[in-house]
């Protein structure tokens, strides 16, 4: 009986992976981003972005258009800070077989510059399939207005 349950679970997981479409595959990038952010894993975050990605982070004062700029931004945001990103309401819009837009709400919680932080925000990810991988090609996050 136990072997049958294991086999059924395996078949379901294979079937689920095989049935994943662009929306599900692209959203996995957002989930990886959230996990890497919450673990202060700058390398993990940077590798999710395409080489030609464009980014405006919450604290961006300029348009970030290079992998080096993305790295510098997240190193500054996460160095000596313990922050966790929690996803909230989301909309996932498939533009094509290779482009998906994820827009939603999040909350960044933790300690920033030795002060408690609880910052609600709005974010947009444009995720495109490049060769075999889904990558972030555009990211924008802004604080929730009062």
pLDDT at 22 over 60: yes
Find the radius of gyration of the CA atoms of the chain: 17
Q: Using alpha carbons, select from 90, 86, 108 the residue that is nearest to residue 100.
A: 90
Question: Going edge to edge, which strands form the sheet with 99-112?
Answer: 49-56, 133-143, 115-130, 99-112, 82-96
Residue 95 lies in a domain: yes
Residue 111 lies in a domain: yes
pLDDT at 1 over 90: no
SS3 93: strand
Q: Please give the residue range of the domain that contains residue 95.
A: 21-143
- The CATH number assigned to the domain holding 91 equals 3.10.450.50
**Tens digit of each residue's pLDDT (9 = 90 or more) over 79-117:** 888 899 999 999 999 999 999 999 999 999 998 888 898
pLDDT for 10? 44
Residue 68 lies in a domain: yes
pLDDT for 18? 55
Task: Report the domain count for the chain.
Answer: 1
pLDDT for 140? 97
Residue 11 lies in a domain: no
Q: Using alpha carbons, select from 29, 20, 19, 2 the residue that is nearest to residue 139.
A: 29
**Beta bridge partner(s), residue 105:** 122
């Amino acid at each position: 009986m136990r072997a049958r349950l294991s086999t059924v679970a395996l078949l379901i997981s294979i079937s689920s992976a095989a049935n994943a479409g662009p929306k599900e595959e692209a959203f996995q990038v957002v989930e990886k981003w959230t996990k890497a952010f919450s673990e202060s894993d700058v390398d993990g975050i940077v590798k999710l972005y395409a080489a030609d990605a464009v980014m405006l982070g919450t604290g961006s004062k300029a348009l970030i258009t290079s992998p080096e700029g993305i790295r510098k931004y997240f190193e500054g945001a996460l160095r000596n800070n313990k922050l966790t990103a929690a996803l909230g309401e989301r909309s996932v819009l498939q533009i094509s077989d290779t482009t998906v837009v994820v827009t939603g709400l999040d909350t960044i919680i933790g300690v920033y510059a030795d002060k408690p932080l609880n910052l609600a925000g709005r974010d947009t990810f444009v995720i495109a399939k490049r060769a075999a991988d889904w990558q972030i090609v555009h990211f924008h996050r802004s604080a929730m207005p009062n």
